[in-house]
A and B are shown apart, each in its own frame.
Chain A
């Protein structure tokens, strides 16, 4: 179970970076980057998981609730998800303006400077 859990994180990160490197379309590239970012959220929550634990909400619990999972990791991952979406929006705004100027969405066809 540990091996599967942590291999998932490494696999998602590597496949996201692979998508960024081999992409032929800038919008495809931005979505692959968000896949790589979600790998870090999963790692945070996996570190904080406790077998047999319940969510750190202490209302309407059963008679013998058992331990709770790590709430600090959830606080870190929570803002990460929302702010990650806003930063993805910023990247897509860059892509839209770039397409207007360069006329193409292919990273290989973009030149460094324009005279």
Chain B
């Protein structure tokens, strides 16, 4: 049972990781990166790594999308 969960988590991570790279527009990529971070947290949890999953959730859902979106907003504002 746990092996199946790990396999599903790995498939999720592989597919969303590829999607992050293949999404060229940075704004859309930020959303796909959030989905990838969630998949990573699920994989870490299924590998029984509770501390690392907690770190990944707070970093991948909060810190990383915030700084990516703020950088995009700054770049867009400069272009005007």
Which A residues lie at the B interface, using CB under 8 A? 1, 4-5, 8, 11-12, 15-16, 18-19, 23-25, 27-28, 30-32, 34-35, 38, 41-42, 45-46, 48-49, 51-55, 57, 69, 73-75, 77-78, 81-82, 84-85, 88-89, 92, 95-96, 99-100, 105
Contacts and interface: CB of A to CB of B under 8 A. Distances in A.
A11 B14 CA distance: 8
Interface of B: 2-3, 6-7, 10, 13-14, 17-18, 20-26, 29-30, 33, 36, 40, 43-44, 47-52, 55-56, 59, 63-64, 67-68, 71-72, 74-75, 78
Given A1-B3, A51-B3, A74-B51, 9 more contacts: A11-B14, A19-B20, A38-B40, A41-B44, A42-B13, A75-B51, A78-B52, A84-B59, A92-B71
A57 B48 CA distance: 10
A38 B20 CA distance: 13
A8 B43 CA distance: 12
The prevalent SS among residues of B at the interface is: helix
A7 B50 CA distance: 23
Contacts of B13: 8, 12, 42
A34 B23 CA distance: 14
Given A4-B10, A12-B17, A35-B21, A28 B50 contact: no
Interface of A is mostly: helix
B28 to A, nearest CB: 10
A96 B36 CA distance: 24
